[in-house]
Structure 1
C-alpha cells in the first residue's frame, strides 16, 4: 500500500483517500491501470505537490480528488464526507463550494473581460449580478489585478491570465485549490510569481494541491508526493532535487 499523510491533532482532513484505484477499459485489451491503491491525506492549510511524468497517474488522481471522475476501487473522503454517497446535485455543490480548479491553459473566454471571466461561476451559484461584479473585482484585487478588470485575455500577459484564472477559482471562497501544471505555459520568472501567490493563499488558510512534472516547481510546496506507475510515494525535498 502506498501512503502519504500528515497529522494535525484532531483536525478533519480536507482530502483523504483510502486504497484508491482507477482502471480504464477493465477486462479489455485496452485496459489501463492508472492508479494503484493510493492513500493520501491532506490537512487544512497544506501546500502539497504531486509530481510525476506524463502517464504516471497524477492527473487521474487530481480528477478523482476534484470529483470530476469516480474511482474503480477505494474510498475518497472530502472534509470527512464519502463522496460516493452524494447524488449528482450534492456532488456539483461540493465541486462548486469546496474546490477551485486552476489549469495550465487558463481556459478564459476571449470575448469577456477579466471581471466577467472571474464572475462567471457566480452565475451558477445564483448570486445577484451586482454582487457578482463586486466579488469578482475583490478577487482580482486579491491577485494583484485590480487595474486590469476591464481587459480581455488577449490584452493580458500569460502571468496575468493565470492570475485571472486563479481569481476565478477563488470566487466561491473554496477551501481547496487544485492546480494542474499552473506554471507550464509560463516563463520561469512569471512561474515563480504564481508560485509565490499560491504560498500567500496557503498562508491565508487555503489548501493547495499542485500537480506538476517539474521538480523545481514541486520544491516550492511544503510536502511532496511522487507518482510512479499509478502509485504514490512521499518524497523529501532533498531527494527531489538530488
Structure 2
C-alpha cells in the first residue's frame, strides 16, 4: 500500500463511496412498511477512516448492507468507485463485492477447522487466484496484522483479538478499495479493542479506506469523520479528535 493519509474529501476527489438521495423501504405499500433510509447523501474518499454511528434501529446496518452491495436501494443512487450499482446485475454486484469490498464482523466468522493461513486465503479461491499465490498473499496479509507467526494456528488456539486480526487479514487479502467493519470491537475487551482500532488507523495511514459501523461513541471518536444515523437520516458530526486513535 502507498503511504497516503487523507482525512477530508476534496471537491475534486473521486469518492470511493458516494450515495445520492439513497433510500430503502422494506415491505413497501403494506401495513408492515418500514422506511429504513431516507435521502442519504454521503461521500467518502480514498484513504479515509470514517465511522457510521447510531443506535439500534437508526438505519446504520441497512446503510452498511447497501454500501457493501449486500442489498439494493429502493430509491436514489449508489456509486462504488464511480460505478453505478444499479447498472449491475446480481452476478456483477457479487463480483464487485469480491474485488472491491472487504468485510470484518463482530463475530470474526472464521472457519474453526481451518488454520489462520487457510482462513485468510479462502476468499482468493472464489476469485480464481492460483494456490501458491493465495498462500503467499495470505502470509503477507497475516504479516500486515502482526500474526505471521500464528499462520498455522486454528481459531480455537487464538485469542479474541488475534481472531479479529485474522479476520482483518482475510478482508484485506483481495486488496479491496473499501474495508467495511461492522462493530469490529464489540466482542473484545477495551484494551484489545484499542489495539484493533490502532490497526485500522495504521491501515488508513497506508492508504486504505476504512468504514466502521458502530453504536459506540468512543469507537467512533477514533475516526477522522463521524457520520451519525438517526431515524434513517445521516448527519455529520465534527469533533476534535480527527484522525486520532491510537
| TM-score for the superposition, normalised by structure 2 | 0.93
Q: State the SS of the aligned residue for 1:141.
A: helix
Residue among 137, 160, 165 paired with 1:163: 165
Report if the CA contact (8 A) 1:175-1:205 is conserved.
Answer: no
- Structure 2 CA distance for aligned equivalents of residues 32 and 87 of structure 1: 25
Residue among 44, 47, 52 paired with 2:46: 44
Q: Which residue of 2 aligns with 1:184?
A: 186
- Structure 2 CA distance for aligned equivalents of residues 158 and 237 of structure 1: 30
- Structure 2 CA distance for aligned equivalents of residues 161 and 6 of structure 1: 31
- Structure 1 CA distance for aligned equivalents of residues 30 and 8 of structure 2: 38
Report if the CA contact (8 A) 1:6-1:41 is conserved.
Answer: no
Q: Which residue of 2 aligns with 1:148?
A: 150
- Structure 1 CA distance for aligned equivalents of residues 87 and 36 of structure 2: 23
- Structure 2 CA distance for aligned equivalents of residues 88 and 215 of structure 1: 35
Q: State the SS of the aligned residue for 2:139.
A: helix
Residue among 3, 22, 25 paired with 1:23: 25
- Structure 2 CA distance for aligned equivalents of residues 133 and 238 of structure 1: 42
- Structure 2 CA distance for aligned equivalents of residues 26 and 10 of structure 1: 37
Residue among 122, 125, 128 paired with 2:124: 122
Q: Deviations over 1:22-69 (max 9, x none)?
A: 011111111111101100000111111010001100010000000000
Deviation, structure 1 residue 88: 2.4
Q: Which residue of 1 aligns with 2:244?
A: none
Deviation, structure 1 residue 145: 0.3
Q: State the SS of the aligned residue for 2:77.
A: strand
Runs of 4+ aligned structure 1 residues displaced above 3 Å come to none
Deviation, structure 1 residue 7: 3.5
Report if the CA contact (8 A) 1:11-1:43 is conserved.
Answer: yes
Residue among 57, 62, 73 paired with 1:60: 62
Residue among 201, 204, 217 paired with 1:202: 204
Q: Which residue of 2 aligns with 1:211?
A: 213
In structure 1, the gaps of 5 or more residues are none
Deviation, structure 1 residue 238: 5.8
- Structure 1 CA distance for aligned equivalents of residues 8 and 199 of structure 2: 23
CA RMSD of aligned residues (A): 1.4
Residue among 103, 108, 111 paired with 1:109: 111
Q: Does 1:8 align with 2:10?
A: yes
Q: State the SS of the aligned residue for 2:46.
A: coil
In structure 2, the gaps of 5 or more residues are 1-6, 242-246
| TM-score for the superposition, normalised by structure 1 | 0.94
Deviation, structure 1 residue 6: 5.2
